[in-house]
Amino acid sequence: MEELENQKDIPFVRRGVGGSHDSVADIRGEDQQLSEQLALSKGGCHHVQTEALLNSKKAAEILGVSQRTLFGLTARGEIPRVLIGRAVRYDPADLREFVAASKMRRSK
């Protein structure tokens, strides 16, 4: 048991095609690049999703509106949605953009 706990401190090493060793940082960098390439190949998205998508109840709560109002905003194309099968989800970044665009400036 103690032997397993000590292995946590040993850096992860993966053998490459030529038998070379990659550092943890190299592997993480490769994984990030692969994730970004996958995102770009699936719909041209230029960022990798890092925040959890929200369901309609949580998205409406964050905006301070009812779900019905949120559905109306979505139907009019004012707030984008993400469809995963039949499930509708909202990207928190899209909600922030909507709020920023909706801010009214005081006229002078």
Q: In which residue are the tokens 């928190």 written?
A: 92
Question: Which of 88, 102, 90 shows the shortest CA–CA distance to 62?
Answer: 90
Return the domain boundaries, the chain.
2-41, 56-102
* pTM for the model: 0.53
pLDDT tens column, 67-102 = 999 999 999 999 999 999 999 999 999 999 999 999
Question: Residue 48 carries which DSSP code?
Answer: -
Residue 42 has pLDDT above 60, yes or no: no
| Beta strands 87-89 and 82-84, pairing class | antiparallel
Report which residue type is found at 106: R
Q: What per-residue confidence (pLDDT) applies to 65?
A: 97
